[in-house]
Structure 1
Amino acid sequence: MFNVQCSIHSAVQELSSSIIRSFDWSSFNQPSLISQQHKQALQKVIPPVQKDATQSTTTTRSRARSNSDVTNMAQNPTSAARRPTSNRKLTASESMSLDRLLRDGPPDGDIIGSLESMRLKILDQGVKSDSDGMSSLRIYIWLILLNAPTLETDAYLSLIHRGASPAYSKIRNDTFRTLATDPLFRRRVSEASLIRLLNAVAWKLHDVKEARAEFRNLQNRQIMEAAIHGSPERNPHSPSMRYRARALTLTTEGSDVGAGEPGTYVQGMNVLAAPFLYAARSESEAFMAFHRFITTEVPGYVRGAMDGVHKGLALVDKVLAIVDPKLSLYLIGKGMSAEIYAFPSVLTLCACTPPLPEVLRLWDFLFAYGAHLNILCIVAQLVILRNSILSSPSPTKILRSFPPLQADTIKEVTLTIITKIPDDVYAEIVFHAK
């Protein structure tokens, strides 16, 4: 049994490495192209809706009157994903199960087609797991979807052996209460494991911060020397200086995207890291996935000012106003902006809402089609609660803690919501966490 597991582990690592090394996602770095890619990928598997705004609004209101009607808001994603299209040729990977695709790798070297097929299978079938949400393949699926590089265990151990990071005291103040009421998490993941992972990530981010500060100091000194001596090669705009700047960017790429300094730890990272440790088969795998996630998918969430989280909260309000104006106006009238009730859900990608197995299933969907869709998933939960909220004189009590996650229902409602979002707003959603 151990040999079989090792064989699967080796094959999956090989697939992950193959995808990472063979396909360069940098070609998708144009903002308009990224937003179109994410939206079009989902629109391929959901039915078209009427374009008339009045009809759309009316439909939204009538379909969300009660929780029992929620599943009618969207065509079942299973049937939608299976719907044949005349202009699309079936790929070899579509005839393979998700397990086999991971074990054997992309057929005929078709990496792009295999990734698309993997996403569809996750949406259609989900990732097979037991009642506790455990799956031997989930962490490898996440690593592939996150395009995470391979990591030697020794590299993770070297970060641990450096001892306490500058953020260690902050980490210790948070870890003991991480998912404290979740028996599944407490049984599988120790506080010591969570401390080690967060401390290692803090060291990694600290090193990036130090490297950038050192580079800026060097650049400033060279600018001063260039001004004094008139040396053209030390000018910051010279080819040599541009090359050095590019080299630093490559060695720290993904550690901070956009304006502002990268942080080393912010409150809430402990909850965000928890599902990675729960799903992973080793700390080093969880570290690689978590570090990749926060530095490429949601760097704006972990910067000191957490500007990405606040942008996300504003987008929850904006999307709700588009999808359900009546519900939006009701909450605004009660003084209930997303800043008040949705901060934990935005920051942690709904990991703050139990049960944990449902969080993992929702994350499968988010990693497949983009973590930015969490904004729509939060709005979907509000739509599901619509009847209860509108009938409550004090919705604060309802929204103080969201009801237990139902990943499949949330995904179905999200697939409907996405068809109602204008392209410019969707582009904001895609980039809000960068």
Structure 2
Amino acid sequence: MNLAPLLGDHTAEVAVIGGGITGLSTALHLAEMGVGVTLIEAGDIPTGASGRNVGLVNAGLWIPPDDILEALGEEIGERANAVLGGAPAEVFALIERHGIDCQATRTGSLHLAHNGKGEQELVRRAEQWLRRGAPVELLEDDACRERVGTRRIRRALLDHRAGTLNPTAYTRGLARAAQEAGARLHTHSAATAVAREGDAWRVMTGNGSIKAQRLVLATNAYTEDRWNEVRHHFFPGHFFQVASRPLPADLAGDILPERQGAWDTRLVLSSMRRDADGRLILGSLGRGDGRPMSYLRCWANRIQRHYFPQLGRVEWECTWTGRVAFTPDHTLRLFEVAPGVLGVSGYNGRGVTTGTVVGKGLARYLATGDDASLPMPIRSPRPIRAKSLRSSSYESGFTLYHTGQCLRVLS
């Protein structure tokens, strides 16, 4: 989605930097409340992870709900569980309200136990969500195999709140809805600096500027500029995906037949889903960009033949990589970096749902001062230390793991 760049000097009540799901959700909800908002994006919409993620509409954070309480404390932790547990419903409501054509499914998601330890982990997660009234279901044996389409898995956790979508189409749909609501959007307009100007802020770009009372830094994992304080509150990682050519219906019909998205309990997980065109899309943590296609095909063949040998030889058509903003405790961060400047980071791989509800919550907070729609209060966390070391350690571990899979050292 290529919009006009920002030219000349402009004013707004709120300026949003970053045209991904978080920034667009913020702009959309602000505009719907009658707040004047201008959003700028350095590239197209989408450029970053909002168009490159797995497309899972998942509930909650990456870690189980009891672990969230340990990380955030009981009161804030349960608030995060409640807000993010309801996040898929928020996404699907937006899709329906604005008629966003993004190939959405609402048949749940499947967390697959790849071994005995994984089965115990799913039992623990199921118990914790059921205690909170969530519609989750532990599938076993034949019921599990029918939903997944593999005999390699005998237990899976089905979360009925969840689903899938095409992330690129969803992000573009949010942009169109925001424009129709009155938000001003500009692409190819990278913010080059932010400066205090009286009681307001001025955001500079290469060919213009925005003067606004409040700013939202919605750059997350793609934060690179030294002036942007968000860069101190995550360490970057990556997630790659490999997509097949459309599979014949007679071969692929029993693989994820209800088109749930799925991922396994491996230390370095594998994700899998079938898109609306019948492609099998596999993914995992780590960089795919810069690696030989032969390496990625080797990995994809290994995972496909492990889980879905009935497909025989699969032809892999394309690959892409997106960035992930990690935090040490696997929870997101909401903060005010300066008076009137809000930032968010650390979705840890849950960008579709978290970005959507955080954007809505930020809009409500900016318009009314009420932060109840946010997963947690806006705080002042300490910067993350040893970011480069954390990132390189993660990437080295992912690479070793995938190499082990390709060499059949790991199953």
TM-score, with normalisation over the residues of structure 2? Answer: 0.25
More helix, by proportion: 1
**Structure of larger gyration radius:** 1
Q: TM-score, normalised by structure 1?
A: 0.24
